[in-house]
Amino acid sequence: MENFQFYSPTEFVFGRDTEDKAGELVKKHGGSKVLIHYGGGSAERSGLLGRVRASLDKAGISYTELGGVKPNPRDTLVYEGIELCRKEGIDFILSVGGGSTIDSSKAIALGVPYDGDFWDFYCGRAVAKAALPVGTVLTIAAAGSEGSGDSVITKEDGGLKRGTGTDLIRPRFSILDPQLTCTLPAYQTACGATDIMAHVFERYFTNTTEVEVTDRLCEAVLLTMIKETPRVIADPNNYDARANIMWAGTVAHTNIVGVGREQDWNSHGIEHELSALYDCAHGAGLAVIMPAWMEFVYKHNALRFAQAATRIWGCQMDFEHPEVTALEGIKRFRSFLHSIGMPINFAELGAREKDIPALVEKFGIGGGRTGGFVHLSAEDIAEIYRIAAKAEL
C-alpha cells in the first residue's frame, strides 16, 4: 500500500425528509445569503425546491435562485452564476440536483473569489486558492460529486469537457434522501449505476500490491450495485434499494475505496470526449467505453482481472488460463450493463466510428491525460474507441 492523506470533511445527512434540514445546515456551515442552483426542472416539479425554500425561510436565510443547469454542465451558465453571486453578495451556494448541478455550483464557487477566468482551473492554467462554500441536496445517485473534490464542466466554444480537483470544493454538507431518487427515469437510474461502478473499477485496476482492504471495499460496492440496480429498475419506489445505491454512489467517489493505491481514470477521460461531442449521458458513455478499455488492457495483469471475475461476477477460476477467466468477467460486466438498459456500442449510444480521429485528437488537447494502470498512446485510445464501436454481447 502507498502512503496517503484522506480528507473528506463533508457532513453527510442521510435519510427520509432530510432536505427539511437544508436551512439549519446552511446556517451551521456559516451561510447567510444563499444561491440556490438547480437543473432543468425536475426539482421544481417534484416539489423539492419548495421544501428547500421553506427550510431556508424557516432558518431566516435569504436566497437568490439560478436554475437551468444542463446535463454535461456548460461554462456559459457558470459565468452567469459568478456574476449573480458577486452582484447579490452571496456567501454560500446550495446545489439542488445531480452531478451536473453540483459541478456547476463548484465552478461558480471557484470563480467568485478569483480575478481571472474560472476556466483557468479546468485547463490547468491556475491552481485555486479560495472558493465559496457549497452544500448539496442530491437527487440522483451517480457522479459522487456530493462527496468529491472534483468538478467537470464543458466549454461551449470548442466543446471541451474538462475537470478540476481541489479539496476547497468538497461540499460542506450533503443531504442524501433516497426518496428523492424515486422519480428518476429508469435510463437515468441505470446511467447513474454505471457511473458508480466505473468509479470503483477506475480504482480497482491498479499496479499497487497488498491493498486488501480497499480491494474488499471496492468489491462490496460493486456487489451492492449488482444486487440493487435491477431491484430499482423493477420497482422504482423500493426505498431500501434506493438507499443502498445512494450511499454506494457516495462511498464510490469520496476516495475511501481508493486510498493508498495507484488509480487509472483513462476510461473517464476517453468517455468525456463522447459526452462532450454527442451530449450523451456520462454513464451511458462509460457503459460503452469501460468494457472496451478492459478488453484492451486486461493482459497487463490478467490475474487481477481474473480476481474481479471470480469475486465480483462469480466466474469459475481457470488456473491454467487466467486470461480466459478475465475475459469472462468482462463479458459478464457488459451483459449486466445491457440488462439494465445501457448501450454497449457506438450505434446504441448514437456515436459515429468516423469521428474516432477527432475524439482522439481532442483527448490529446490539454496534455493527453493517460491512466495509472496502463499508459495509453493515441493509437491505443483509437483502438479502444474502435473496440467500443463494434462491441457485441
Residue 392 CB, nearest approach to ligand NZQ (Å): 26
Out of 140, 233, 259, 276, which residue is the one contacting ligand NZQ (CB under 6 A)?
A: 140
8 Å CB contact between 290 and 267: yes
* Binds ligand NZQ by CB under 6 A, chosen from 10, 59, 111, 150: 150
Nearer to Zn ion, 195 or 295 (CB): 195
Q: How far apart are the first and last CA of the chain?
A: 36
> CB under 6 A: which stretch of 87-95, 180-188, 206-214, 385-393 binds ligand NZQ?
180-188
Nearest to 250 by CA among 333, 181, 314, 309: 181
Taking the least distance from each CB to ligand NZQ, the nearer of 166 and 301 is 166
Which residue lies nearer to Zn ion by CB, 81 or 99? 99
CB of 282 to Zn ion, least distance (A): 6
Which residues lie near Zn ion (CB under 5 A)?
Answer: 195
Nearest approach, Cβ of 111 to ligand NZQ (angstroms)?
16
306 binds ligand NZQ (CB under 6 A): no
143 binds ligand NZQ (CB under 6 A): yes
Candidates 44, 158, 159, 165; CA nearest to 107 is: 165
Residue with cell 466510428: 353
Task: Pick the binder of ligand NZQ from 172, 203, 282, 362 (CB under 6 A).
Answer: 282
Footprint of ligand NZQ on 229-258 (CB under 6 A): 253
- Cα separation, 187 vs 111, in Å, equals 33
Spell out the alpha helix ranges (H) of 46-185.
48-58, 75-88, 99-111
Burial 334-369 (b: 16+ CB within 10 A, else e): bebbbebbbbbbbeebebeeebbeebbebbeeeeeb
Per-residue contact string for residues 24-63; x = within reach of ligand NZQ by CB under 6 A: ---------------xxxxx--------------------
Q: Are strands 134-138 and 160-165 parallel, antiparallel or unpaired?
A: unpaired
Q: Which does 41 bind (CB under 5 to 8 A by kind): Zn ion, ligand NZQ, none?
A: ligand NZQ
What is the pairing mode between strands 134-138 and 150-155? unpaired
Nearer to Zn ion, 95 or 325 (CB): 95
The β-bridge partners of 89 are none
Q: Which of residues 80-139 bind ligand NZQ (CB under 6 A)?
A: 97-101, 103, 139
Q: Which residues bind ligand NZQ (CB under 6 A)?
A: 39-43, 71-72, 97-101, 103, 139-140, 142-145, 148, 150-152, 180-181, 183-184, 188, 192, 195, 253, 268, 282-283
